[in-house]
Amino acid sequence: MTDAVTLPVRGTVDGAGRLTAADPSLVRLQEEAGATLGSVLAVPQLAALARLARTLGVTLSRPARAGLREAELDLWVRAEPVADEVRLVIEQWIERPPLARRWPAASTQVAGDAANSDLGFELDTELRVVAIGRGLAEQLGSGPASVLGLPLTRLVQLETSGEGDLPLLSALAARRGFSGQKVAARRSGAELVLAASPFLTKAGEFAGYRGSASAPEEQAAAGLATGPEWNALLKEPLDVIVTEAERISDRREGPLRSDYAAYASDIAGAARHLLEVLQSMGREAVATSQEKNEPIDLAALAAEAAGLAQPQAAEAEVMLELEGATALPAIGQPRAVTQILVNLIGNAIRFSPKGGAVRIEANAGATASVSVSDQGPGVALKDRERIFERFEQAERRGQGAGLGLSISRRLAQSMGGDINLGSTPGEGARFTLTLPQR
């Protein structure tokens, strides 16, 4: 066991997640996790608690687990956000003997499932190496047997993403998969990118991660705009957003004002729809979609899409006006139709002036249709078709990647419909989704 610990143990985490100040016991815990004072907090549950307290803006107290080389720790930690920092106070520090090894002897484990891939690995719930491929171990500058049981952070330095986040720690907090975690091997200096999925016990409990490593050049060669790879990279942070927003909305962390809970619910709903956008972003996704056309009420889906866009409209001080038929039988795919209408309404809000209105009108004719009209600057004649191409935008104020209209039109056409644009420069734009009637 370790020397006696003087309680409370204090530390400070800055806005970038770095442990900038700490009592000796916490410094040792950080070092045992493979990091140092001044670097990103590498104790997973403490880092997750600090991040959550900063996100919510409230003080949180909860149990946490950590491990030293010769002891397992049961902690009670308070995280208090102050300005851009989070102050950690460990009020309970109970040490117990380390758990028995949960993996076979090295001679058999190296041949295990996770190591079947030369660059594969398996981690337990404390991010200790349970299995590793021979090729990956060599990249780390060690043999497979010598790294088993060691914390991952003792073998590699985790590097932050462009947003200053650590994908692995963010995923661990939500028990989700991760990708794009850049690391540098402490012994060899090799640079790698890790991706992994969680695996569960027979009881359905989180048991750790199984994944693989790749070279940064391979990630770059894959390209961001190649469909599934791009979607996977974007999906993980969105999964975390949905999970955290639902946790806030459900008040799982304790009492919370109703308006804050409602905001979190809106965030979760918007993120879920963005995930659906990603699933349909490539042409292949549309062409291979397993969803089939079915009878739908186009007017009801228009109302649902308007509800999802309402928080954006309120923030922009733009009114949403629902007009036309209250029931409109059509043929299509409910999720795809909702996605299209959310895209169209969102665009209309973005290009409408403060105090303006967006009109959403359902009509029956030769086809079932919903028109979305804004009071923005309109679209020039030369841009009428180009605006539907991928990564293209008309010369209107606003920001975006130019993906929404391209995706929306392809989705509409895959359902036997289309999206048409009517616009007069200076008088707004009118986008109309048409679908077969039933």
Residue pLDDT, tens place only, 219-263: 544 444 444 445 555 666 777 787 777 777 777 666 777 777 777
* pLDDT value of residue 262: 75
Residue pLDDT, tens place only, 378-418: 777 666 666 766 443 444 444 333 346 777 888 888 899 99
CA distance 241 to 165: 13
285, amino acid identity: A
Answer yes or no: is pLDDT of 101 > 60.
no
Answer yes or no: is pLDDT of 370 > 90.
yes
Q: How far is the first Cα of the chain from the last one, in angstroms, to the nearest whole number?
A: 73
Residues 6+ apart with CB under 8 A from 137: 143, 144, 146, 147
CA distance 422 to 387: 12
Q: Are 298 and 328 in contact (CB under 8 A)?
A: yes
Answer yes or no: is pLDDT of 32 > 50.
yes
Number of H helices, E strands in the chain: 14, 18
CA distance 88 to 141: 35
Beta strand 294-297 pairing with 329-332: antiparallel
C-alpha distances out from residue 290 to 48, 328, 435, Å: 37, 24, 19
Backbone phi, then psi, for 83, in 5-degree steps? 55, -125
CA distance 164 to 352: 33
Hey, what's the torsion of the CAs at 160, 162, 168, 170, to 10 degrees? 110
C-alpha distances out from residue 284 to 165, 335, 407, 414, Å: 30, 17, 11, 12
Q: How many CB atoms lie within 10 A of CB 205?
A: 9
Helix (H/G/I), strand (E/B), else coil: 341: helix
CA distance 251 to 217: 43
How many Å is the Cα radius of gyration of the chain?
A: 26
pTM: 0.40
CA distance 92 to 74: 8
* pLDDT value of residue 169: 80
Q: What is the residue-averaged pLDDT of the chain? A: 79
